[in-house]
Amino acid sequence: MELDAYAPAWRIAAAVAAGEASAREITLAALERMAALDPHINAFTDVTAARALADADRVDADRAAGRPLGPLAGVPYAVKNLFDIAGLPTRAGSRINRELPPAAADGALPQRLSAAGAVLLGGLNMGEYAYDFTGENAHDGACRNPHDTTRMAGGSSSGSGAATAAGFVALALGSDTNGSIRVPSSFCGVFGLKPTYGRLTRHGSFPFCDSLDHLGPFARSVPDLAIAYDAMQGPDPRDRACAARPVSPALPGLEDGIAGLRIAVAGGWFATDGMPEAAAAVAAAAAALGAEREVEIPEAEAGRAAAFIITNVESARLHMANLRTRSGDFDPDTRDRFLAGALLPAAWYARAQQVRRWYHDAVMRLFREVDVLIAPATPFPAPRVGQKTVAIRGAEVLLRPNIGLFTQPVSAIGLPVCAVPVTGGALPIGVQVIAAPWREDLCLRAARELEACGVAGFTRPLL
Amino acid sequence: MTAQDFDADAYIRQVAPLLGLELDAERRAAVAAFLEIARGMAERLEAAPVPAGCLDLAPVFLPGGE
């Protein structure tokens, strides 16, 4: 069985289980590729090579002894550096957190992936404290897009998108508060899953905004995304927001197709006029899924505003002590936003949580008549590193506040979304496949349909 | 309050010390820009036709949990 750097996780695990490849040789190949190519991309901030080889050897020893192997046996993966990695300070993209003592144990989700046999290769670059859509970072340097290293990887899970697209790892973990899984997925041309708020435990990860933080996987194929997602499900009382729901595996129904599903295109706030790449991606996905109907997600703009205020206030509160005493140690691109968030009137925050509830209820009514919604993931493909403005609908506007235009209203109410890279453009760009809460299975089924018919999929970069 | 009568710099100078934040003129100018963006978002929230006379907030508090 031939395994190259872009082999899917399921194939790697099958080869390891069959004895056609060892976890050690797969790990060594990934480490060599990272050493050769990551200096051009800057996806990794920490490489845990010794630990990775020890973990790989354990997988190989289990196989040799005839012990059962997990569904991700020998699969290389890495995590955004806001996940705890035993022995490393959880830097969360910051300079300040590097002074923290090393984590005593891995975060809960890396523990679950490792228990499934996956091999952790290290921590990944990210925007400071996850308050970012670009992948730029004043402390660790910008994470660059493997498809064009003059361009942004997207943030804040920049290294997660870039390491997956560059073939360093088959799986990566990231976080998404307002779009930080979906934006780098779109820019780097990989699949990403932001599950329902409360589906996956956040224990052992550094927070950004408690009301809106989600964690989730990146992969180059939908089956890989489903396998990783299934391996990470399950309640965890250590995260109060984690729902006490039973595991609901998505993999068994992944090939069930879309027959009987009511699929519509999101209009209104999600309209793509004047955004040719995004419009083409949505049109291709809609045609492939037979989505002829357009529906308006009610009050999406208000939902986005609620997410903005909630994020600004909660994240500023989290960092208040450091804002008081050492604001100069923050990345200049996040510092002034945190400071502004610290000053917002309480009435704005309460209103935001009120509008969020009301917006949620309105969208739940929409899901009585629709099962799956298609929306653009980003308004445009990856901008250039350092770019400050962008043309949208004929007007030159600030880049950073507009990257999350389409992702923010969806995560504001915790809906499950699969970011799906649509093929055919000069640069990658993705769509969002959105379903009602707890229906990740529908997101993944529709994404799989797009992948199977060739409208969506990972395209190898020229590295 | 309208766009004309909000003085972001004056607001920051009043509120920042209340929170123990020391901001020089350069910082205040930079923060004011983000405060203006947030104010635009708050105006959008204020305009949302949420039913009056109730305050149903998104977070749910469940007493008794650890």
Q: Are strands A372-376 and A429-435 parallel, antiparallel or unpaired?
A: antiparallel
Q: Is the pLDDT assigned to residue B34 strictly greater than 50? A: yes
Chain A, 123 to 142: residues with Cβ < 8 Å from chain B are none
Residues of chain B in contact with residue A353, where contact means CB-CB under 8 angstroms, are 57-59
Q: Which residues pair with A189 in a beta bridge?
A: none
Q: Is A158 one of the catalytic residues?
A: no
Q: What distance in Å separates residue B58's CA from the closest CA in chain A?
A: 5
Over residues A3-29, the pLDDT tens digits come to 999 999 999 999 999 999 999 999 999
Q: Into how many domains does chain A fold? A: 1
The range of the structural domain enclosing residue A55 comes to: 9-452
Over range A401-424, report the average pLDDT. Answer: 97
Residue A297 lies in a domain: yes
What's the confidence (pLDDT) of residue A408?
A: 98
Joined together, the tokens standing for residue A109 give: 């989700």
A302 phi/psi in degrees, rounded to 5: -65, -40
Nearest one of A23, A246, A15 to A114, comparing CA atoms: A23
Per the prediction, chain A carries an average pLDDT of 97
Chain A, 365 to 424: residues with Cβ < 8 Å from chain B are 401
What's the confidence (pLDDT) of residue B59?
A: 84
Residue A362 gets the label, from left (phi > 0), alpha (psi -120 to 50) or beta, of: alpha
ipTM of the complex, rounded to two decimals:
0.94
> Which of A310, A329, A336 would you mutate first to test chain B, the one with the most B CBs within 10 A?
A336
What's the confidence (pLDDT) of residue B6?
A: 85
Q: What distance in Å separates residue B20's CA from the closest CA in chain A?
A: 6
Residue A230 lies in a domain: yes
Where are the domains positioned within chain B? 8-47
- Which CATH number do you get for residue A96? 3.90.1300.10
Q: Is the pLDDT assigned to residue B1 strictly greater than 60? A: no
Q: Reduced to 3 states, what is the DSSP secondary structure of residue A200?
A: coil
Residues of chain A in contact with residue B58, where contact means CB-CB under 8 angstroms, are 211, 353-354, 356-357, 360
Peptide bond into A185 cis (omega under 30): no
Q: Is A175 one of the catalytic residues?
A: no
* Separation between Cα atoms, residue A190 and residue A194, nearest integer Å: 13
Portion of chain A with pLDDT greater than 70, in percent:
100
Over residues A330-388, the pLDDT tens digits come to 999 999 999 999 999 999 999 999 999 999 999 999 999 999 999 999 999 999 999 99
Over residues A289-339, the pLDDT tens digits come to 999 999 999 999 999 999 999 999 999 999 999 999 999 999 999 999 999
E strand residue ranges, A399-461:
417-422, 429-435
What's the confidence (pLDDT) of residue A21?
A: 98
**In chain B, whose CA is at the least distance from the CA of A237?**
B66
Give the model's confidence band at B4: pLDDT under 50 very low, under 70 low, under 90 confident, else very high: low
CB A285 within 8 A of CB A263: no
Over residues A259-299, the pLDDT tens digits come to 999 999 999 999 999 999 999 999 999 999 999 999 999 99
* Cα dihedral B24, B25, B26, B27 in deg (nearest 10): 50
Give the model's confidence band at B65: pLDDT under 50 very low, under 70 low, under 90 confident, else very high: low
Residues of chain A in contact with residue B55, where contact means CB-CB under 8 angstroms, are 350, 354
Over residues A220-250, the pLDDT tens digits come to 999 999 999 999 999 999 999 999 999 999 9
Q: Is the pTM of this model over 0.90?
A: yes
- Cβ pair B59:A324 closer than 8 A: no
